[in-house]
Amino acid sequence: SPHVASVLRFDGKTAILRTSSGTVGLDLARKAGADPILAAGFVNSRETARYLKKLGVGGGSLIPMGWKGEKPSIEDDQCAEYIQAMYDGRAVDHAAILKRLDGHEDLARFQAPEEIEFLSQDLNICFDFDRYDFALKAEMVTRASSGVLLPSPLMELVPVRV
């Protein structure tokens, strides 16, 4: 939960990300030989587009992973469109995007009290356009900081500034 993470202290600690879709997508991109592999959301979309432009990446793919990687979700599709618009240099109406997202059935889980892993406060953070001034590049990690060989490949998300 972005909200929960925002109130926790991570000083001197390593955070491990686990998602239903995003990490699966990163691993599939790695297996397909994609390079670079970036993780993005509304919070770093502009910088992701700027980073791709700086690299001269043309012909890349924006892959919205959707809900559990199984079905499209409005927020992922809108984010991919937003990144594409930033890459193309087109103006974007943030209010129009938020209006399309507001009350959409794909986001109902964030309003359901029984869904304890989806907090309504998360949406305010997730839809905070261009909150961060960096792109997130996925890089392979083969050893833990202790030098112990890891049982399976892991990726580290490294902030990169344009």
Query: Cβ distance 101 to 122 under 8 Å?
Result: no
For residue 150, the model assigns a pLDDT of 55
Q: Mind listing the pLDDT tens digit for each residue in 114-147?
A: 666 676 777 888 889 999 999 999 887 765 554 5
Query: Cβ distance 74 to 55 under 8 Å?
Result: no
DSSP notation for 129-162: TT-SS-EEEEEEEEE-TTSPEEEEEEEEEEEE--
For residue 100, the model assigns a pLDDT of 84
Local structure of 46: helix, strand or coil: helix
Distance CA 128, CA 131 (A): 6
Q: Mind listing the pLDDT tens digit for each residue in 16-48?
A: 766 667 778 888 888 898 889 999 999 999 999
Residue 154, beta-bridge partner list: 141
**Tokens at residue 146, please?**
């202790």
In the predicted model, is pLDDT for residue 149 greater than 70?
no
Q: pLDDT averaged over the chain?
A: 81
Strand pairing report for 135-143 and 149-160: antiparallel
